[in-house]
Structure 1
Amino acid sequence: MIVGIDLGTTNSLISVWENGAARLIPNSLGEVLTPSCISIDEDGSILVGRAARERLQTHPDRSAAAFKRHMGSDKQITLGKRAFRAEELSALILRALKEDAEAALGQPVTEAIITVPAYFSDAQRKATRAAGQLAGLKVERLLNEPTAAALAYGIHLRDSESKFLVFDLGGGTFDVSVLDLFENVMEVRASAGDNFLGGEDFVNSLVDQFFEHNKLDKRYRDNAHFMQRLTAQAEAAKRELSTAPRALILLTEGAHNLSMELDEASFESLCAPLLARLRQPVERALRDANLAGAQLDNIVLAGGATRMPLVRRMVARMFGRFPACDINPDDVVALGAAVQAGLKSKDAALDEVVMTDVSPYSLGVEVSMQYDSGGHSLGHFDPVIERNTVVPVSRVKVYYPVQDQQTILEINVFQGEARMVSDNIKLGTLNVQLPPGTREDKAVNVRFTYDVNGLLQVDVTPLKGGESTLLVIEGNPGMMSQQEIAECLASLSQLKIHPRDRIDMRTLVARGERLYQQLRGSVRDRLSLEITRFEGGLNTQDKRIIDAAARHFLEVLDDVEHQHAGNPFGDADL
Structure 2
Amino acid sequence: MIIGIDLGTTNSLAAVWRDGKAELIPNALGHVLTPSCVSLADDGAILVGLPARDRLLTNPSLSAATFKRYMGTDRRIRLGTREFRPEELSALVLKSLVADAEAFLGEPVHEAVITVPAYFNDIQRKATRIAGELAGLKVERLLNEPTAAALAYGLHNAPLESQYLVFDLGGGTFDVSILELFAGVMEVRATAGDNFLGGEDFTDALVKGFIDHVGRDAGLRSEELTPAQHARLRIEAERVKRALSGHDLATFRFQPHERELYWDISAADYETLCAPLLARLAAPLERTLRDAGLMPSDLDRIVMVGGATRMSIVYRMLARLFGRFPSRDINPDEAIVMGAAVQAGLKARDAALKDVVMTDVCPYTLGIETCQQYDTNRYRDGVFSPIIERNTTIPASRCETYGPTSREQTAVRIKVFQGESRDTSDNIELGSLSVPLPAQSSADKEVDVRFTYDINGLLEVEATVRATGLVRTLLIEQSPGAMSPADIALSLAAIARLKVPPREWAEVQALQERMKRLYEQSLGQRRAWIGERIDQFDTIVARQNPREIARAVQILGEALLQFDTSALL
- What TM-score do you get using the length of structure 2 for normalisation? 0.97
Q: Tell me which residue corresponds to 1:244.
A: 247
Change beyond 3 A, Cα 1:155–1:103: farther
CA-to-aligned-CA distance 1:128-149 (integer Å, 9 cap, x gap)? 1110000000112111111111
- How many residues align? The count is 564
Tell me which amino acid in the other structure corresponds to 2:120: F
Change beyond 3 A, Cα 1:176–1:294: same
| Residues 117-266 of structure 1 aligned to structure 2 (within 5 Å) | 117-155=117-155, 157-213=157-213, 214-215=215-216, 216-218=219-221, 221-266=224-269
| Equivalent residues of 1:436, 1:442 under 8 A apart | no
Q: Tell me which residue corresponds to 1:326.
A: 329
What is the aligned counterpart of 2:345 among 329, 342, 347? 342
What is the aligned counterpart of 1:469 among 469, 472, 485? 472
Q: Tell me which residue corresponds to 1:405.
A: 408
Q: Distance in 2 between matches of 1:109 and 1:31?
A: 19
CA-to-aligned-CA distance 1:32-78 (integer Å, 9 cap, x gap)? 10000111110111111111111111111111111111111111111
Q: Distance in 2 between matches of 1:418 and 1:470?
A: 25
Structure 2 SS opposite 1:364? strand
Q: Tell me which residue corresponds to 1:108.
A: 108
User: How far has the Cα of 1:217 moved from its partner?
Assistant: 4.1
Q: Distance in 2 between matches of 1:482 and 1:424?
A: 27
Q: Distance in 2 between matches of 1:180 and 1:535?
A: 57
Structure 2 SS opposite 1:253? coil
Matched, 1:383 2:409: no
Q: Tell me which residue corresponds to 1:571.
A: none
Structure 2 SS opposite 1:441? coil
Q: Distance in 2 between matches of 1:373 and 1:316?
A: 56
Tell me which amino acid in the other structure corresponds to 1:141: R
Q: Distance in 2 between matches of 1:246 and 1:95?
A: 41
Tell me which amino acid in the other structure corresponds to 1:337: A
Matched, 1:31 2:34: no
| Equivalent residues of 1:189, 1:388 under 8 A apart | yes
| Equivalent residues of 1:220, 1:226 under 8 A apart | no
Structure 2 SS opposite 1:428? strand
Q: Distance in 1 between matches of 2:48 and 2:72?
A: 21
| Equivalent residues of 1:220, 1:227 under 8 A apart | no
Tell me which amino acid in the other structure corresponds to 2:238: E
Q: Tell me which residue corresponds to 1:505.
A: 508
Q: Distance in 1 between matches of 2:441 and 2:154?
A: 56
Structure 2 SS opposite 1:23? strand
What is the aligned counterpart of 1:363 among 354, 366, 372? 366
User: How far has the Cα of 1:416 moved from its partner?
Assistant: 0.7
Q: Tell me which residue corresponds to 2:564.
A: 561
Q: Tell me which residue corresponds to 2:523.
A: 520
Q: Distance in 2 between matches of 1:460 and 1:271?
A: 46
| Equivalent residues of 1:401, 1:439 under 8 A apart | no
Tell me which amino acid in the other structure corresponds to 2:401: V
| Equivalent residues of 2:156, 2:356 under 8 A apart | no
User: How far has the Cα of 1:345 moved from its partner?
Assistant: 1.2
User: How far has the Cα of 1:223 moved from its partner?
Assistant: 0.7
What is the aligned counterpart of 1:488 among 491, 497, 500? 491
Q: Distance in 2 between matches of 1:32 and 1:156?
A: 25
Tell me which amino acid in the other structure corresponds to 1:137: L
| Equivalent residues of 2:37, 2:64 under 8 A apart | yes
Q: Distance in 1 between matches of 2:312 and 2:320?
A: 12
User: How far has the Cα of 1:219 moved from its partner?
Assistant: 6.4
User: How far has the Cα of 1:536 moved from its partner?
Assistant: 1.0
CA-to-aligned-CA distance 1:65-111 (integer Å, 9 cap, x gap)? 11111111111111121111111110000000000000011111000
Tell me which amino acid in the other structure corresponds to 2:345: G
Structure 2 SS opposite 1:531? helix
User: How far has the Cα of 1:260 moved from its partner?
Assistant: 1.2
| Equivalent residues of 2:37, 2:50 under 8 A apart | yes
Q: Distance in 2 between matches of 1:8 and 1:128?
A: 11
User: How far has the Cα of 1:436 moved from its partner?
Assistant: 4.3
Q: Tell me which residue corresponds to 1:354.
A: 357
Q: Tell me which residue corresponds to 2:73.
A: 73
Q: CA RMSD in A?
A: 1.5
Q: Tell me which residue corresponds to 1:568.
A: none
Q: Distance in 1 between matches of 2:160 and 2:95?
A: 39
| Equivalent residues of 2:156, 2:186 under 8 A apart | no
| Equivalent residues of 1:172, 1:196 under 8 A apart | yes
Change beyond 3 A, Cα 1:440–1:20: farther
Tell me which amino acid in the other structure corresponds to 1:381: F
| Equivalent residues of 1:172, 1:201 under 8 A apart | yes
User: How far has the Cα of 1:361 moved from its partner?
Assistant: 1.1
| Residues 511-550 of structure 1 aligned to structure 2 (within 5 Å) | 511-550=514-553
| Equivalent residues of 1:406, 1:434 under 8 A apart | yes
- What TM-score do you get using the length of structure 1 for normalisation? 0.96
Change beyond 3 A, Cα 1:451–1:221: farther
Tell me which amino acid in the other structure corresponds to 1:199: G
Q: Distance in 2 between matches of 1:545 and 1:304?
A: 37
Q: Tell me which residue corresponds to 1:459.
A: 462
| Equivalent residues of 1:25, 1:101 under 8 A apart | yes
Structure 1 SS opposite 2:511? helix
The answer to which of 467-476 and 440-449 deviates more is 440-449
| Equivalent residues of 1:400, 1:440 under 8 A apart | no
| Equivalent residues of 2:165, 2:299 under 8 A apart | yes
| Equivalent residues of 2:2, 2:112 under 8 A apart | yes
What is the aligned counterpart of 1:272 among 254, 269, 275? 275
Tell me which amino acid in the other structure corresponds to 1:323: P
| Equivalent residues of 1:125, 1:454 under 8 A apart | yes
User: How far has the Cα of 1:512 moved from its partner?
Assistant: 0.8
Tell me which amino acid in the other structure corresponds to 1:509: Q
Structure 1 SS opposite 2:562? helix
CA-to-aligned-CA distance 1:179-207 (integer Å, 9 cap, x gap)? 00112211001110001100000000000
Q: Distance in 1 between matches of 2:155 and 2:15?
A: 16
What is the aligned-residue identity percentage?
55
| Equivalent residues of 2:70, 2:86 under 8 A apart | yes
Q: Tell me which residue corresponds to 1:285.
A: 288
Q: Distance in 2 between matches of 1:347 and 1:358?
A: 26
User: How far has the Cα of 1:474 moved from its partner?
Assistant: 0.5
Matched, 1:62 2:62: yes
Q: Distance in 1 between matches of 2:93 and 2:400?
A: 42
User: How far has the Cα of 1:251 moved from its partner?
Assistant: 1.5
Structure 1 SS opposite 2:154? helix
User: How far has the Cα of 1:157 moved from its partner?
Assistant: 3.7
Change beyond 3 A, Cα 1:168–1:339: same
Q: Distance in 2 between matches of 1:561 and 1:316?
A: 34
Question: Which structure 2 segments of 5+ residues have no match?
Answer: none
Q: Tell me which residue corresponds to 1:569.
A: none
User: How far has the Cα of 1:403 moved from its partner?
Assistant: 1.1
| Equivalent residues of 1:416, 1:425 under 8 A apart | yes
Structure 1 SS opposite 2:329? coil
Q: Distance in 2 between matches of 1:293 and 1:78?
A: 46
Q: Distance in 2 between matches of 1:35 and 1:145?
A: 18
CA-to-aligned-CA distance 1:486-532 (integer Å, 9 cap, x gap)? 10110011111122111111111111111111111122112101111
Tell me which amino acid in the other structure corresponds to 1:139: V
Q: Distance in 2 between matches of 1:438 and 1:154?
A: 60
Change beyond 3 A, Cα 1:151–1:221: farther
Structure 1 SS opposite 2:29? coil
| Equivalent residues of 1:460, 1:469 under 8 A apart | yes
Change beyond 3 A, Cα 1:114–1:439: farther
